[in-house]
Amino acid sequence: MITLVLLGNKLLLGMDETPVKTASYAVQKSNVFSGMYSFGILGAMMTGQELAEVAAGDYMGSLIIKVGLARGGMLRLTPSAAEKAAELAADLIRRA
């Protein structure tokens, strides 16, 4: 679902790159981890890893790229990830 956050920032705000802190805030507000708190997630949060990076999980590096290290860095979708996220968003809108 982090891909939808990044896609929304790209389409609605024109942001190709989203600050990690902004993405983490969106992940927190969207309740992505509701009912899924595991020791791995809590451990990552306790060590200071951002929620957006935890939410990205295995997609980090393949579909989501972290760029720029200043001020915590930025997250960017790869072109294939943007296509997949757009398809998912369209599917969710059709089902609504």
Amino acid, res. 74: M
Q: Residue written as tokens 């720029």?
A: 68
Name which residue leads in pLDDT, 8 or 39: 8
Among candidate residues 90, 91, 79, the one with its CA nearest the CA of residue 10: 79
In a 3-state reduction of DSSP, which class is residue 78? coil
**How many domains does the chain fold into?**
1
Using one digit for the tens of pLDDT, what is the confidence trace for 41-88? 666 667 777 878 877 877 777 889 988 877 788 999 999 889 999 999
Q: What pLDDT does 91 receive? A: 93
- Residue 41's contacts (CB-CB under 8 Å, 6 or more residues apart) are 33, 54
User: Which range of residues forms the domain containing residue 76?
Assistant: 2-95
- The CATH number of the domain holding residue 83 is 1.10.10
pLDDT, tens only, 14-51: 999 999 988 888 887 887 666 655 655 666 667 777 87
Gap between the Cα atoms of 85 and 72, Å rounded: 24
Quote the pTM value: 0.77
